[in-house]
Every structure is written in structure tokens, then in C-alpha cells.
Structure 1
């Protein structure tokens, strides 16, 4: 759009517009979803408007409604896209525990690569193909462990809620202002290391080890605890 001075108005960084005389690009659900991820990565949830998405794609915002009913429908598609990326190249292992471990590590890795999108995605049920593939894989793995459906379901929910909750927490933390993150991370070598043993003997004794805990290693540790507990419950054991 031209300004009152006749000069072309500047686009926002990273946004693409169709120039005069150029045909507008054809849209697809995939291109729209990928543009949403780019916007979320760059500017967060507040940037996710049909106007901004259309500008990034060089398309009329109203054209997006041919593919998505509303913003919530689009958000569910973004959430499913993250799961779809997690599944790329993934094949279940012979060992049901390795299948679940590998799948959950992949999903968490993708969520943390798009933390601002993950904060929105981890609390939703997409009802879409990638989510259904993930659920089918998890239930199939639990069936291989010997669980009948009525027993597999509560174990499935416990595992998935664990992974989603942890991933949402990590994604939210990654989305914090860097100064806030730095303050929290220094707490273990600062405030907790200085707690007097007279009033908090257990914290004082554990303080050197609290500072050594690494987030990724801690997730692996917690996931293995969950899988070990489920294996102990499995009828095949």
C-alpha cells in the first residue's frame, strides 16, 4: 500500500508482499501453518493474526478463511504440524520402551525448537492426523507390553500428560526474558547454596548437587523412571 507521500509503505521484517502486477501466491494449509510457526518463533502469540499471516505470505488475509475457519482452527493445525515434524523418519522399535522413549524425546525436541508455539500447542487436542498417529503408536507400544485397552489407557494418559506438561514448562521457561532466566538459573549456586544448615539442613546438604542438575538429563531420568514403573506393571513382566 502506498503512503500519503506516494512512497511504498515498508513491510515488517520477514514479511512478503505481492508487488504491483504480480499474481498473489497460491495458498495451502501447509504454507499457512509454516508461516504461523515463523511468526510465533519471531514475535510470539500476539503476532498471530490473519492480517500478519496474510502479509507474510503476500496474500489477502480473507483468503486464509478458505482453509481455516478461525484462529483456533489454525492453532490446532499448528499444534498438529509440530507432531508431524516429530514423526518424520521415526519408526517404532522392537522394544516397546525404546519406541516410547524415542518418540517422546523427538516430540520434546521439536517443542523446544519452537517454544512459543509449544506453549500454545501442548495444552490442546488437535483431533488431526499426526496426533492420531502418535496416540496409535503409544497404545500399540503399550499393547506390546501386554496391557489390554482398559489398562493401556491410564498408562497412556500418565505418560502423555507427563511429557506434555514437562515440555510446556520447558517451553514457557525458554520463552522468558533472558534476564529472568539468568536469575532463576543462578539461584542454585546463589540463594540455595547460601541457605544455613541450622534452619534447612537437607537443602544445605543437597545444595552442591542441586546446582549440577541439567534439564535435558533430568528429563531423560524422569522418563526412564516412568517407563521402569510401567514395565513393572506390565502383564508381560
Structure 2
């Protein structure tokens, strides 16, 4: 049974760890992000995390409800970093587009963490702040509540789905990823036009596009649709 999670002020260590640092939720999350980057999700264990922090592994349970609680905190950290990097302009479409790109970029900066957390709902303050911000942009723009929620749902799921998809490509071995990327020029570009006329005709375009994320283009499609609905309602 996990140990009770107590308030930050009550659980802070009164003396430094063996490495001379004082533990905090933020330090543990930052260390976990580093471990995910270096070892992947399989390498993130309480024992290894404790060793990296210079603390007993059981210390983790004073800050989080086990590794699942830590996973939620990591997801919140990625959302918070996206929000911190974003600057609103007051134009709803531009603000949603830039926030979506910020979320996508924040997750891709930590591919292993993105794969671990993109499908999770953390319920933590920074994630809630992102959700409140998106809904506020939509409602302030004039979307009714049904349209605002529908657009929010599509918007956030699209950002996280592409974050997971693109993070998957970044998380694999470099040689494997490069072999996948080369497939557009090594295989697709050499298919015979007699059997694959459409691929042959577009092979040069496929090679230029397919190794880049489609997220910006699909995001624009979503925003075009939302803008058209809003214009129809105003009309």
C-alpha cells in the first residue's frame, strides 16, 4: 500500500541528500525526465530514481502516489512548459494555433516522456490551466458551449495524438529512424510506373513531405473548420 502523500512543506527533507541537494517535486520530475531521455520508460523505476537523486527509493512515495503519480506530474510538467512558452495575441485563431504548436513542441522535446504521458489525463493544476485557457479562447471568440467543447476536444486530442506519433519516430534508434526516412527515396522513388503510377507521379513530393510532421497542416484544417462554423453562426 503506497505511503500517504503529505503537503510539500511537511515532506521537504530537513537535510540534503547524499548528493547535497534538497528534494522537491520539481527536482524529482526533472530527474525523471532526464532518466526517460537516457533510458526510456523501462528505465524509470523507484530504485533507479532514488539512486539518481541520492535518496532512498521509498522517498518517492512521500511526494507522489507511486510511479503513476509521478507519470501524471511529468505530463503536467510538459503541459506547463508549453503554456510558459506561449504568448497570447488576443486573436483566437492565432492563439489556438500557436498554443497547439507549443504543446506539440513541448512533448517532442522529451519523446520518451511524451510516449508515456500523451494519453494521460493528469488532473493537475498546470494541465487544468491549459484546458481553461483553450476553453476561454473559444468561448470569448463567440463559440457556444457545445461548439467550444467539441473544438477543444478535437484540438487537444489532435495535439497529443501527433505528439505521440512524432515522438515515436524520435524515440527509436537513430539508424532505424534514418532507414525509415530513406525509404521514400530508396524504395518509393524507384517503383515502376506500370504498377504504381500514382506513387511514381508524386514520389518527389512524397520524399519532400513525408519525413516532416503533418501536424501544422492538420491543425490548420481543424481551425479552418472551426472558423467556418463560427462565421456561419455570426452570419
TM-score tier, shorter chain, comes to 0.7 to 0.9
Instruction: Give the secondary structure class of the aligned counterpart of 2:73.
Output: helix
Shift of 1:142: 1.4
In the alignment, is residue 101 of structure 1 matched against residue 106 of structure 2?
no
- Gap change, CA 1:208 and 1:216, over 3 Å in 2: closer
2:216 alignment counterpart? 220
Q: Deviations over 1:131-165 (max 9, x none)?
A: 11111111112113321112211111111111111
Q: Which has the higher helix share?
A: 2
Contact 1:36-1:53 within 8 A present in 2 as well: yes
- Gap change, CA 1:89 and 1:106, over 3 Å in 2: closer
2:171 alignment counterpart? 175
2:36 alignment counterpart? 40
Q: Which runs of 5+ in 1 are unaligned?
A: 1-16
Shift of 1:193: 0.8
The correspondence for 1:56, drawn from 52, 55, 63, is 52
User: 2:86, 2:181 → 1: CA distance?
Assistant: 34
Instruction: Give the secondary structure class of the aligned counterpart of 1:46.
Output: helix
Contact 2:77-2:126 within 8 A present in 1 as well: yes
User: 1:217, 1:118 → 2: CA distance?
Assistant: 15
Paired residues, number: 217
How do residues 181-220 of structure 1 correspond to structure 2 at under 5 angstroms?
181-213=177-209, 218-220=214-216
TM-score with structure 2 setting the length: 0.87
User: 1:76, 1:123 → 2: CA distance?
Assistant: 10
1:18 alignment counterpart? 18
Instruction: Give the secondary structure class of the aligned counterpart of 1:18.
Output: coil
Shift of 1:202: 1.3
Contact 2:100-2:155 within 8 A present in 1 as well: no
The correspondence for 2:125, drawn from 123, 126, 129, is 129
User: 1:216, 1:209 → 2: CA distance?
Assistant: 12
User: 2:75, 2:67 → 1: CA distance?
Assistant: 12
User: 2:161, 2:86 → 1: CA distance?
Assistant: 22
- Gap change, CA 1:117 and 1:66, over 3 Å in 2: same
1:65 alignment counterpart? 61
Shift of 1:92: 2.2
Shift of 1:216: 5.0
User: 1:200, 1:121 → 2: CA distance?
Assistant: 39
1:9 alignment counterpart? none
TM-score with structure 1 setting the length: 0.86
User: 2:212, 2:193 → 1: CA distance?
Assistant: 29
CA RMSD, Structure 1 to Structure 2 (Å): 1.7
Contact 1:143-1:152 within 8 A present in 2 as well: yes
Q: Which runs of 5+ in 2 are unaligned?
A: 1-16
User: 2:101, 2:37 → 1: CA distance?
Assistant: 21
